[in-house]
Amino acid sequence: LIEAAVASARSDQEQMLECLDSARIHLRLTLDEARQALTDLRHDSFENGLPGALNDLVQSVSREKGVRVTLEQTGALVPLANSTNRALLLVTREAIRNAVVHAAPTAVFVHLSYGSSAIRLEIQDNGRGLDATPVDLAAAGHFGILGMRERIEQIGGSLEIVSNPGSGTTIT
């Protein structure tokens, strides 16, 4: 983007400014993600299992972003490998972040359910909903949903997204 801005500096200042603005946004997002990755390395603790880590996450987001985020757990706690806990935590974090940044919800609800043969994690918001498909979003440079899907598939799960513009989004 910076190279494109330099190339268009003399001929098309409007395009140059668009390229620089896009570069600025991408750099800010990359910096935020790098900071979050460092925080993840230092602070993700599963001493209290996945529910404890999710509880820490929802409290932190509620406090920092001013959006009511709640967690409900059903079923008997099943100890999971840290890699599975981490994948589920990171997917939840991304889903909440997407909702807060893009959908302007007043509430986000996280439900963790331990069943006899599966774990079900659902993140639901009451925001604007998605008006684009995950493929369209990835083509536009938004890879959050693609990353969530890949993380879940790596641990043997599947990801489902249900959303309609104006009626929120549910990620399961």
Q: Write the pLDDT tens digit of every residue in 92-108.
A: 999 999 899 889 999 99
- Quote the DSSP letter at residue 131: S
Compute the distance between CA of residue 5 and CA of residue 14 in angstroms, rounded to an integer: 9
* Whole-number average pLDDT of the chain: 86
Compute the distance between CA of residue 110 and CA of residue 91 in angstroms, rounded to an integer: 11
Q: What are the tokens at 156?
A: 């043997």
Query: Of the spans 18-27, 32-41, 148-157, which averages the highest pLDDT?
Result: 148-157
pLDDT score at 47: 79
What does the pLDDT average to over 69-93? 93
Say yes or no to pLDDT of 140 above 70.
no
Question: Whole-prediction pTM value?
Answer: 0.73
pLDDT score at 111: 98
Higher pLDDT, 132 or 163: 163
Residues 28-72: pLDDT tens digits? 777 777 776 666 655 556 878 899 999 999 998 999 889 999 999
Comparing CA positions, the residue from 87, 100, 26 lying closest to residue 60 is: 100
